[in-house]
Structure 1
Amino acid sequence: MAQRTCLSLTMVVMVNATQSLPNISSGEHPGNIMNPVYNWSPDIQGIILSSIFYGTMIVQVPIGYLSGIYSIKNMIVWGLFLGSVFSLCIPPAAQVGETLVIVCRVAQGMAQGTIIAAQHHIWVQWAPPLEQGRLTTISLSGIHLGPFIVLLVTGFICDLLGWPFVFYIFGAYGCVLCLFWYVLFYDDPKNHPCISINEKEYITSSLAQQVSSSNLTTLPIKAMLQSLPLWAIFLCNFANIWTSNFTLMYTPILINSIAHVNMRENGLLSSLAPLFAYIISILGGQIADFLRSRNILSTITIRKLFTTLGMLFPVIFSMCMLYLSFNFYSIIICLIFANATTAFVFSGVQINALDIAPRFYGFLKGVSSVIGMVGGILSSTVTGLILNEDPETSWYKIYFLMSAINMLALIFYLIFAKAEIQDWAKESQETRL
């Protein structure tokens, strides 16, 4: 996520201040050597920011399938290495033109998509059933921790060394991380030399008790397509990724447009949202498990509660920012929490597929990720187009569109969501396409 996110902040200094004018041609604008500037219009910026999702989306299904056949260790190390190499290539690609930057971002997305798709299979081999929820939540929290770190330090790197070094530093960091991953990670706990025999026996014995999805010969595709609870999950994931991607990618640009702060201050302010999102995701998982283990609330009530918080709060804070904020600080507070509160869905809709179809969780997670990435692509692209056409009232239109998508998806989810295993997902079910 660090390599994916850094462009959203460096874009502020990469682009000419007059880039919003529609008649400016692409190319490099005379600037200093440390921070070359380019005349990229808002719609081109939107395409560049969203292009990484194209690559990620392409590989989700095939990599999800191959991760059950080939070594996850090797797949992730190659994905991390290639993604880091393409991060190193972005500054020289920008010198050539925006088309080559888009190509690098798509290729980087394919490499990172390999990591995203393959890493879910790690817990199949390593996580005991009673600990899968906790471990999954902790691992997903890195989605917010990475952007927090990169946004925090990117402003300082841009000021001290120039924006190209942001990509050089995080690209080099990824290459070094490959070595640690290759040495320390093992596909199977039975082969790991650094864990105790008792721990190995605990993991393997607990995993032996669960039904393996590898025995599945067919997928009940027709029944899945007719399942309203499943569509409720898909639509909410589309809306949530639309919102979280937009707020993550465009927060630095919005802060720059309303406050005109320097890069260090912009990075610091932008990093607060993923920091709070990280805290919310961890606390949300603990609270949800507490409510469920004590039978205070039913599973479906917990899922709907946290999904509502994660989709309604961003709308509320966005509207407050547009109409009730009266100074710089109130705008920043609303902007931060409009982004951070999306993390509540980690304890809601994001794991709801595990409730209704545990046997097909891996497959459904891949499909849900693809649908969510479509939302991520559209949010960046549509935002860029709106900013290019109407700079005066563009942010109002963008936030109203985001709010409408969130509310429609949330209403559908509250009506049709379930938390019981569906008939088509039960082991005795023989539904076929």
Structure 2
Amino acid sequence: MATKTELSPTARDSKNAQDMQVDEVLIPRKVPSLCSARYGIALVLHFCNFTTIAQNVIMNITMVAMVNSTSPQSQFNGSSEGLPVDSFGNLNKAPESLSAKAPVYDWSPQIQGIIFGAVGYGGILTMAPSGYLAGRVGTKRVVGISLFATSFLTLCIPLAADFGIVFLIVTRIVQGLSQCSVIGGQFAIWEKWGPPHERSRLCSIALSGMLLGCFSAILIGGFISETLGWPFVFYIFGGVGCVCCLLWFIVIYDDPTSYPWISTSEKEYITSSLKQQVRSSQQPLPIKAVLRSLPIWSICLGCFSHQCYITATALLTLSCALSTLCQSGIYINVLDIAPRHSSFLMGASRGFSSMAPVIVPTVSGFLLSQDPEFGWRNVFFLLFAINLSGLIFYLIFGEADVQDWAKERKLTRL
């Protein structure tokens, strides 16, 4: 007959203590997010992304003032047809104050497309290495130095434009190297700062600065160009970037253990949450498995198609609003399927998508030069097809579970 075995008081207390320790590891006490260090890090990254994207976008706004033309058709037609006229039928000339405030250049749509796309060449080269480098030497150094570089180069763009188109294109390429290092290198910080169940929220807060930067640059860039001259757009946003860079080096630390202003409870909460992730810095990146992984390719193609931006203003505005949902989806999907290699793969996927800012302006300029009247229609049809194909591929092959090649493998020694 079976008998019930009872534990002694000492054994029972020991078992209860062990259970409490396990519970503390598996279910860490959550620290309020308001005024917490980790959300402060996300907010600083928000402003860094705001600055970086604003510096990237302002060229699209100032180009109208730099070439002194709002109609690309004037570049193909030497006649005065279509130019603005006053109430007496005379041609309106450009305001004299505009020429006095800033120089004007004679750039064709093809040249403008090359200038727009030049900043994307750097992204192809640095997005993936910056994520890998940030995971090795620290996000603070990689992002901080890159943010200062892109801000300094933004200040130099008016001078580079005066020196010539070659100097401007080279400046834009180097600026693209720096900007994409900021974007690609920042994700490594969440490997040590972001509890697994909060990473999507923290990344979304940081990445939302991109949308705000784009919105702000478009909103006030034209006003600054009209009132102060287009060079001041670069001076103002470049100066804001330098201030943000100073804030970055003061506030940001690579891990919570070295952060001087974090509370003990939050530090324990973050470290205990990260203990649930089994990590191995000695395990190499499985390159072949990554290249064969369809979920990785779905992320890359999703990012690419999202980067490629319907003639009606309402539809265009709606598409821009809905595209922000991608920030909490494809852009941080790598943290779900391969958290151990997330810094490199995040940069690699964004680096793949950086081909879009290079290809799209160049192809758009070519299509416009071939058909100035209906070229934009072909551009939007092409972008629609690319975006739709990326969506379909992601819906079929995208996943949210940790992949087999990204899981911990126990190494046994004979």
TM-score with structure 2 setting the length = 0.76
1:7 equivalent in structure 2: 59
Structure 2 residue 236 is matched with structure 1 residue 169: yes
1:396-426: CA deviations, max 9, x gaps? Answer: 1001100111222222223333333333233
Which is higher, the Rg of structure 1 or of structure 2?
Answer: 2
2:287 equivalent in structure 1: 221
Letter in 2 for 1:235: L
1:213, distance to aligned residue in structure 2 (A): 5.3
Task: Work out whether residues 68 and 121 of structure 1, in 8 Å CA contact, stay in contact via their aligned partners in 2.
Answer: yes
Structure 2 residue 366 is matched with structure 1 residue 385: yes
1:351-430 map, 5 Å: 351-428=332-409
Letter in 2 for 1:401: L
1:9, distance to aligned residue in structure 2 (A): 0.6
The whole-number CA distance in structure 1 between the counterparts of 2:228 and 2:181 is 31
1:170, distance to aligned residue in structure 2 (A): 1.0
The whole-number CA distance in structure 1 between the counterparts of 2:100 and 2:373 is 32
The whole-number CA distance in structure 1 between the counterparts of 2:334 and 2:189 is 18
Task: Work out whether residues 16 and 40 of structure 1, in 8 Å CA contact, stay in contact via their aligned partners in 2.
Answer: no
- RMSD (CA atoms): 2.3
Larger deviation: 30-39 or 109-118? 30-39
- Structure 2: which 5+ residue stretches go unaligned? 1-52, 79-93
1:15-34 map, 5 Å: 15-17=67-69, 20=73, 21-22=75-76, 32-34=99-101
Residues 412 and 182 of structure 1, relative CA distance in 2, 3 Å threshold: closer
1:118 equivalent in structure 2: 185
Larger deviation: 10-19 or 38-47? 10-19
Equivalences, count: 340
2:137 equivalent in structure 1: 70
2:202 equivalent in structure 1: 135
1:160, distance to aligned residue in structure 2 (A): 1.2
The whole-number CA distance in structure 1 between the counterparts of 2:123 and 2:281 is 24
1:23, distance to aligned residue in structure 2 (A): 8.8
The whole-number CA distance in structure 1 between the counterparts of 2:368 and 2:377 is 10
- Structure 1: which 5+ residue stretches go unaligned? 244-317, 322-330
Structure 2 residue 324 is matched with structure 1 residue 343: yes
TM-score with structure 1 setting the length = 0.73
1:256-292: CA deviations, max 9, x gaps? Answer: xxxxxxxxxxxxxxxxxxxxxxxxxxxxxxxxxxxxx
1:19, distance to aligned residue in structure 2 (A): 5.7
The whole-number CA distance in structure 1 between the counterparts of 2:115 and 2:129 is 24
The whole-number CA distance in structure 1 between the counterparts of 2:315 and 2:305 is 19
Residues 415 and 118 of structure 1, relative CA distance in 2, 3 Å threshold: closer
2:262 equivalent in structure 1: 195
Residues 394 and 424 of structure 1, relative CA distance in 2, 3 Å threshold: same
The whole-number CA distance in structure 2 between the counterparts of 1:174 and 1:181 is 10
Q: Report the secondary structure of 2:354's partner residue.
A: helix
Task: Work out whether residues 213 and 360 of structure 1, in 8 Å CA contact, stay in contact via their aligned partners in 2.
Answer: no
1:429, distance to aligned residue in structure 2 (A): 9.0
1:204-235: CA deviations, max 9, x gaps? Answer: 22223322352322x22222322333322222
2:27 equivalent in structure 1: none
The whole-number CA distance in structure 1 between the counterparts of 2:372 and 2:353 is 27
1:79 equivalent in structure 2: 146
The whole-number CA distance in structure 1 between the counterparts of 2:203 and 2:375 is 37
Letter in 1 for 2:217: V
Out of 305, 308, 313, the residue aligned to residue 239 of structure 1 is 305
Residues 365 and 429 of structure 1, relative CA distance in 2, 3 Å threshold: farther
1:81-120 map, 5 Å: 81-120=148-187
Residues 102 and 233 of structure 1, relative CA distance in 2, 3 Å threshold: same
